[in-house]
């Protein structure tokens, strides 16, 4: 090929889209001048290879195709699209910042005391009710993990919480997934902008398509309550001197174990009919631990693990067991509550409910040992979780109970409930709620407290 023909080919290469992978997309999208110069260089190299012989030409063509794919990949990865370039020093600074701190999908392990907050989920545009996510997003912006506009539109950072805890509910193992800039000392910088009763205890990289809500297999909640709640209604007990005996504890655990398996929990939430398929929930375990004394008052912790929970479900499960143990309701009411009959189920106070842990067993089996990602297990953070609960969660529950007497006040309302109402009577009183959709948490990730 003569020199004139070579120059003609180079000129054509500079003006027309190249048919290598990704090249036409880049060219037609209006690539920058640097990119065009690169294609001219590649075209010139191909012409030189063709002049050296057919075999060299083939090798040059292959190399050019591979280079084109690499260019396209790097341009996309580094955010070098033409629409993002505005010229001048500002564009170079933005590009450098992007290279230094690329956005990556991560999960954050959170612990918080929910007192004084109207739940976890942020209500963008409403400053009347403060939520945990309000403080979290503010800290992410101030620490430089996300741009300010991502805080205004959380979809831009692919934000997703694992469980939507409600007003007053605390968490020791909440998980949120999002895309952030992986800045140096990221946990320290985020925590520096958070109040002491909200802490980020851990961080792990996850797959690009990870969603903390959809990938969660199960959730474990705990419910801390004073043991005098289990004292029989015919016994006059003093709250601070009451101690739970082994016989009563065994009965409590026998009743709690009845919840294990799959049941229709339409009576344990609001606005759900008995034939709504989403009312069927699977409970893996539920039990009450040994009692312990704090500040002269005895407490116990009930733990429940299930695939998902509806609004108020856990509080009503505990409320019904308390009503049975105290002698207000017969044990047979449990079986009745899972049938189509409408049953009056009392709802225990929200104080004491804590999101303990969320489980990602399927994700861990698939990606936890692939050599690229870590399993979503928090063994190394267990000590920090325990310390946080002792410093912020348990004292809040104990002090609030002593000051506000939420359990004692709720127990006084149990005689008002009619645990023997017929189905006809209950359906007449609640006809508006039957067969209606659950507006508060039917996706299974709703919380169990208001």
Q: What is the pLDDT of residues 228-244, one digit of tens each?
A: 999 999 998 888 999 99
DSSP 385: H
Q: Is the dihedral of CA 222, 107, 139, 128 positive or negative?
A: negative
Q: What is the pLDDT of residue 152?
A: 78
Beta strands 103-112 and 280-288, pairing class: unpaired
Residue 100 CA, distance from chain mean position: 28
Burial 19-37 (b: 16+ CB within 10 A, else e): ebebbeebbeeebbeebee
134, 166, 276, 448: which one is catalytic?
166
pLDDT of residue 37: 55
Question: Residue 172 falls within a domain, yes or no?
Answer: yes
Whether 414 shows a pLDDT value over 80: the answer reads yes
CB 384 within 8 A of CB 251: no
Task: Give dist(CA 259, CA 214) in Å, integer.
Answer: 24
Does 3 score more than 60 pLDDT?
A: no
Residue where one domain finishes, among candidates 162, 191, 214:
214
Whether residue 189 is contained in a domain is answered as yes
The pLDDT of residue 165: 87
Report the range of poorest mean pLDDT among 54-68, 297-311, 312-326, 341-355: 54-68
Q: Is residue 68 part of a domain?
A: no
Q: Are residues 257 and 382 in the same domain?
A: yes
Q: Would residue 160 count as lying in a domain?
A: yes
- Least confident segment among 104-113, 260-269, 328-337, 371-380: 371-380
Query: Do 290 and 300 meet the contact criterion of CB atoms below 8 Å apart?
Result: yes
Burial per residue of 85-101, b for 16 or more beta-carbon CB atoms within 10 angstroms, e otherwise: beeeeeeeeeeeebeeb
CA dist 51 and 9 (Å) reads: 13
> pTM for the full model?
0.73
For residue 391, give the DSSP letter.
I
Both 208 and 225 in a single domain?
no
Say whether both 253 and 402 belong to one domain. Answer: yes
Residue 294's H or E segment, with its range, is strand 292-294
**Are 224 and 279 within one domain?**
yes
Domain count for the chain, please give it: 2
Domain boundary pick from 214, 245, 271: 214
- Asked if 266 and 393 sit in the same domain, the reply is yes
- Do 186 and 256 reside in the same domain of the chain? no
Q: Are residues 264 and 175 in the same domain?
A: no
pLDDT at 358: 96
Q: Identify whether 447 is a catalytic site residue.
A: no
Same domain, 169 and 267: no
Residues 357 and 210 in one domain: no
- CA atoms of 217 and 203, how far apart (whole Å): 19
Rounded distance between C-alpha atoms, residue 241 and residue 365, angstroms: 48
Domain membership of residue 390 (yes or no) is yes
Neighbour count for residue 73 (Cβ, 10 Å): 12
Is residue 391 situated within a structural domain? yes
- List the structure tokens of 321: 């067991």
Residue 189 domain boundaries: 103-214
Residue 221 counted as an annotated binding residue:
yes
Residue 252: predicted pLDDT: 98
Q: Taking Cα atoms as reference points, which of 116, 108, 201 lies closest to residue 389?
A: 201
Please state, for a pLDDT cut of 70, what percent of the chain lies above it.
70
- The answer to whether position 112 is within a domain reads yes
Residue 262 sits in the same domain as residue 356: yes
Q: Under a CB-based contact definition with an 8 Å cutoff, are residues 216 and 358 in contact?
A: yes
Residue 176 and residue 321 in one domain: no
pLDDT value at position 431? 46
Summarize the confidence of residues 364-379 as an average pLDDT.
91
Q: Which residues, at least 6 apart from 251, have a Cβ–Cβ distance to it below 8 Å?
A: 325
Q: Is 203 helix (H, G, I), strand (E, B) or coil?
A: strand
Query: Are residues 246 and 287 located together in one domain of the fold?
Result: yes
């Amino acid at each position: 090929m003569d020199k004139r023909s070579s120059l003609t080919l180079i000129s054509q290469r500079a003006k027309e889209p190249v048919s290598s992978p990704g090249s036409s997309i880049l060219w037609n999208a209006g690539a920058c001048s640097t990119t065009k110069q690169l294609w001219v260089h590649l075209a010139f190299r191909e012409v030189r290879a063709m002049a050296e012989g057919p075999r060299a030409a083939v090798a040059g063509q292959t190399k050019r195709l591979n280079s084109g794919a690499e260019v396209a990949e790097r341009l996309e990865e580094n955010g070098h699209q033409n629409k993002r370039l505005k010229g001048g020093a500002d564009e170079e600074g933005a590009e450098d910042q992007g290279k230094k701190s690329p956005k990556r999908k991560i999960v954050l392990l959170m612990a918080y005391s929910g007192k004084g907050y109207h739940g976890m989920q942020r209500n963008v545009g409403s400053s009347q009710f403060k939520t945990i996510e309000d403080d979290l997003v503010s800290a992410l912006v101030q620490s430089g993990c996300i741009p300010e506009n991502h805080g205004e539109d959380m979809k831009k950072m692919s934000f997703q919480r694992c469980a939507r805890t409600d007003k007053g509910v605390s968490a020791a193992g909440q998980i949120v997934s999002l895309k952030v800039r992986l800045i140096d000392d990221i946990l320290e910088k985020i925590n520096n902008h958070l109040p002491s009763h909200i802490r980020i205890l851990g961080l792990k990289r996850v797959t690009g398509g990870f969603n903390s809500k959809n990938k969660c297999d199960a959730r474990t909640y705990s419910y801390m309550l004073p043991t005098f709640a289990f004292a029989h209604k015919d016994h006059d007990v003093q709250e601070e001197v009451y101690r739970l005996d082994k016989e009563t504890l065994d009965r409590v655990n026998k009743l709690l174990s009845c919840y294990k398996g799959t049941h229709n929990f339409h009576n344990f939430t609001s606005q759900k009919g008995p034939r709504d398929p989403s009312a069927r929930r699977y409970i893996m375990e539920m039990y009450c631990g040994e009692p312990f004394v704090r500040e002269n008052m005895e407490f116990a912790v009930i733990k429940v693990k299930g695939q998902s929970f509806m609004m108020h479900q856990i509080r009503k499960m505990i409320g019904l067991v308390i009503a049975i143990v105290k002698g207000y309701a017969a044990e047979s009411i449990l079986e009745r509550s899972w049938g189509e009959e409408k049953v009056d189920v009392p709802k225990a106070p929200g104080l004491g409910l804590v999101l303990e842990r969320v489980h990602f067993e399927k994700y861990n089996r698939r990606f936890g040992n692939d050599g690229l990602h870590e399993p979503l297990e928090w063994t190394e953070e267990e000590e920090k979780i325990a310390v946080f609960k002792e410093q912020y969660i348990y004292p809040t529950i104990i002090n609030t109970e002593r000051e506000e007497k939420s359990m004692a006040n709720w127990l006084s309302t149990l005689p008002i409930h009619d645990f023997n109402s017929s189905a006809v009577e209950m359906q007449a009183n609640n006809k508006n709620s039957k067969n209606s959709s659950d507006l508060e948490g039917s996706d299974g990730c709703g919380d169990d407290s208001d």
